[in-house]
Amino acid sequence: MKNNVLFFKQIFFFTLSLFAINRLVFMLPVLKQAQEKFHFPIAFLFLLFFVLSSLILFIVKKVSEKSFDNTGMVFMIATFVKTGIVYFIVKPIINLPNHQIEKTNCLIVFMCFLAIETIITIGILNKKQ
């Protein structure tokens, strides 16, 4: 249970840090105007990715405890499912013209969360060797 709290804390502090950086970037006058036209608030994106990433890491940790050999495959499947869920949620902004900044922001946030999930999963896999 203590390890699960540690993973939750890691992803939580990563989310807060990335959210703060994102908010600072969007304080620039040009980006601030673009943000006002966003289809989804930035806080919604961070909450979505935080919940999905926490869920993925919780599942990966549980699988590594019960069946270590399947950990990598479960991570890949969970990431694939997450990608599908995110696609269907953010699909409205994909088709909107003149929303390139929102699309780019969403992609950057997605890649950052994917990177932290991958780093934490690599740590899980390396501990068992």
The domains of the chain are located at 2-127
- pLDDT(103) > 80: yes
Mean pLDDT, the chain, rounded, equals 87
Note the pLDDT tens digit of each residue in 28-82: 887 877 777 788 888 899 999 999 999 999 999 999 989 888 999 999 999 999 9
- State residue 105's pLDDT score: 87
Transcribe the chain into DSSP letters: -HHHHHHHHHHHHHHHHHHHHHHHHTTSHHHHHHHTT-SS-HHHHHHHHHHHHHHHHHHHHHHHHH-GGGHHHHHHHHHHHHHHHHHHHHHHHHS-TT-HHHHHHHHHHHHHHHHHHHHHHHHHHHHT-
